[in-house]
Structure 1
Amino acid sequence: MHKYSDAIRVERGYYCFLVLNEELTILDVFYPRWINISGHCTFKKYLKAGVSFCIKSVGTNAVFIAKQSNTPVYLEPQFHYCNVLTEWHEYCVPIWDGYKKLYVSLVRAGHPISSALKGFVDLVAKNMCCTSYTQGISGTRNDLTKKLTQQHKLILKRIAEGMTDEQIAHELNISLSTVRFHTQNIFKIFNVGTRIEAVLKAIIQNEIFISDLYG
């Protein structure tokens, strides 16, 4: 996983990760902290919680096709007929955790989605499915809730907003070492190795909710 997370840091252009429910509605959007999204108004306007990716809303898109085919889908800009999506490359992977179907999608503007980015999404999806299956068998899903403290949730919220460890420490008025300690604990709780995985996994497993992150 780390080789992918290191590789995607050098990727150019704007990109983000979406988590969508079975109705193809965005549950959350996560921008890596090294992406400056402030200059891309299309992303800010259309990629937010509550936006529908149904074909009636935005036309042909990778999430809709992934739902129909139940397979990963990569869609290039020329296959979109909605003006909003004319610059977007999409890669979507369906996830079934034994309870519900969800979708993890990568959207990138102006540049094709590289093998490193696809590989990262594939591994995130696989990790989520495997962990959810294991938790369902062992009955440890409730244990995760007990381990995830309020401090963890506060830090997760700021990670989801793209803050650095230094920014989180300043906003929460705690030391940098405390932030890093809690972040490592969060990684252990969710059995992940990156900040992106931690946020996506927390949302998909209902350990944090949109109201926790943006309420």
Structure 2
Amino acid sequence: MGNMQIYDEILHSYKRCVEAGLTSSIAHPVIILKGKYIFLLTDDEGYLLDTMCHEKILCHINFDFSIGISFKEEAIGTNAISMAIKLKRLVYLEPQYNYCDILKKWNCIAAPIIVDEKIIGYLDVSTIERDMTEEMNVVVELLSDKIANEYKNCLKNFELVNKNIDFTDKQIKILIMLAKGYKELTISRELGIKPVTVKYHKKKIIEKLCVKSIQEAIVKATKLNLINID
């Protein structure tokens, strides 16, 4: 699929989102799945990475859903994930179109997870209780976008960890003291520097961690093990 075709599909998706009344500023999907659903996350080759399902659906799973099983066409026949891999787009497959009998009762929607125009995996949402509606397509698209954004954030954090963030010793001390609740004036007295210097270092810390506030800087530095406040 060429880039222009991908962009056309994105534009069509945007149009559907607008028609559905969605805004780009929503904090979470506007449709919540209630009922017997199973969520599958695979890598870009269709190998299962993770799964989550409603407890009521466990009795309907009649084959091994272990991490690492393959949803490739040659492994389990025609299915939504294998078709999404082939077509590189969202696919809805009704039960009768699954090739193997073990999948014959499943309604499935699978969509690629795309980061910077590269497919990094696939999300599948399946149910046995009813047909998937067009609204479900939007839900799966929103979920796959959310996963892609989370992945991108993880990459950014990984890059921060693995690059040399050149905090000075003073900036580390200031960041630790801020994390412990010290005020600027107290920090200046403790370290023997002017309050304006503390402000300067706070600004540099925020810039180096690519965040918007010192509160975000503290959280990020803690997650990345750049500071220890014990």
Q: What secondary structure sits across from 1:140 in the alignment? A: helix
**Cα deviation per residue 1:37-93 (whole Å; 9 max; x = unaligned)?**
3652425x3333122111122110111111111110000011112110110111001
Confirm or deny that 1:140 pairs with 2:144: no
Q: Choose which of 27, 30, 44 in structure 2 pairs with 1:3.
A: 30
- RCO comparison, higher one (Cα < 8 Å, 6+): 1
Instruction: For 1:4, give the aligned amino acid.
Output: I
Kindly provide the amino acid, as one letter, of the partner of residue 112 in structure 1: D
Q: Which has the larger radius of gyration?
A: 2
Partner of residue 115, structure 2: 97
Residues 41 and 121 in structure 2, CA contact (< 8 A), matched pair in contact too: yes
* TM value normalised by structure 2: 0.50
Q: Deviation at 1:102?
A: 0.4
Corresponding pairs, count: 136
CA deviation after TM superposition for structure 1 residue 101, in Å: 1.6
Letter in 2 for 1:49: I
Partner of 1:83: 101
What residue in structure 2 maps to residue 174 of structure 1? none
- Cα 1:119/1:134, change in 2 over 3 Å: same
Q: 2:89 aligns with which of 71, 74, 78?
A: 71
Q: 1:88 to 1:38 in 2, by over 3 A?
A: closer
Give the direction of change, closer, same or farther, for the CA distance of 1:50–1:134 in structure 2 (3 Å limit).
closer
Letter in 1 for 2:107: H
Q: Give RMSD over aligned pairs.
A: 2.9
TM-score normalised according to structure 1 size = 0.54
Q: Which runs of 5+ in 2 are unaligned?
A: 1-27, 162-218, 221-230
- 1:101 and 1:115, CA in 2 relative to 1: closer, same or farther beyond 3 A? same
Instruction: Please tell me the residue identity of whatever aligns with 1:27.
Output: L
Instruction: List per-residue Cα deviations over 1:180-204 (Å, max 9, x = no partner).
Output: xxxxxxxx99xxxxxxxxxxxxxxx
Is the aligned partner of 1:17 residue 2:39?
Answer: yes
Whether the 8 Å CA contact 1:72–1:94 is kept in 2: the answer is yes
Asked whether 1:108 is paired with 2:127, we answer yes
User: What is the aligned counterpart of 1:28 among 50, 57, 60?
Assistant: 50
State the identity as a percent: 21
DSSP 3-state at the match of 1:103: strand
Cα drift, residue 2 of structure 1: 4.6
Q: Which residue is equivalent to 2:199?
A: none
1:120-176 CA-to-partner distances (Å, cap 9, x unmatched) read 22111112334544665xx334569xxxxxxxxxxxxxxxxxxxxxxxxxxxxxxxx
User: Which whole-Å deviations, capped at 9, do the CAs of 1:91-133 have from their partners, x for residues lacking one?
Assistant: 0010122476200111112421234433222111112334544
Q: Distance in 1 between matches of 2:81 and 2:58?
A: 25
